[in-house]
Amino acid sequence: AKNFSTINLTEGRAYIWNVYCNDSAGNGAWYSSNYSITVEHITLPFSATWNTSKTSTGSSNSTTISLPLESTGIYDFTVDWGDGNISIVTAWNTINSNHTYGTEGVYAINITGTIVGFRFNAVGDKDKIIKITNWGVLRVGNSGDYFYGCSNLNSNATDNLDLTGTTDLSLMFSEA
């Protein structure tokens, strides 16, 4: 059986599946669905790669990642830390917004849910975020300086950052 959650679907496009089935004796045939499915809305996670070893003054240690959440933010999200651990974050200052790994290294982190307020402002783990693959559910908030100082950051995201409620883009990627 194919895990359909691993298929890259395009919003607004119709899909028809053809399935090849066979019995225990190896006899099989192709079957076509009689209906199509149109993808109405795809919600991508915020996906970013972090390198815990890239510490600097004011950052967490070389095995920890601390998300740059703001006290004025709105949070109700799940974070997959990329090492088999998952946390639920509902407040900016919860211990669940930090994660310590068994060893330092490079980890792909995925966030799903509501995350409004994400700001490095040239402090904290600014050097540890190295790549953004999807903007997904991330909304940066309205304080400016969001990725300011993230000198190791690159992005190959093809989706758009949701700027709902954001009117201040000052120093968005300064020194990044």
- C-alpha 44/C-alpha 31 separation (Å) is 31
**Predicted confidence (pLDDT) at residue 152 exceeds the cutoff of 60:** yes
Nearest to 126 by CA among 57, 26, 77, 80: 57
pLDDT digits 0-9 by tens, 55-95: 999 999 999 999 999 999 999 999 999 999 999 999 999 99
pLDDT for 17 equals: 65
pLDDT for 91 equals: 97
- C-alpha 52/C-alpha 64 separation (Å) is 6
Nearest to 68 by CA among 6, 137, 176, 147: 147
Contact status, residue 81 vs residue 93, Cβ threshold 8 Å: no
Q: pTM for the full model? A: 0.78
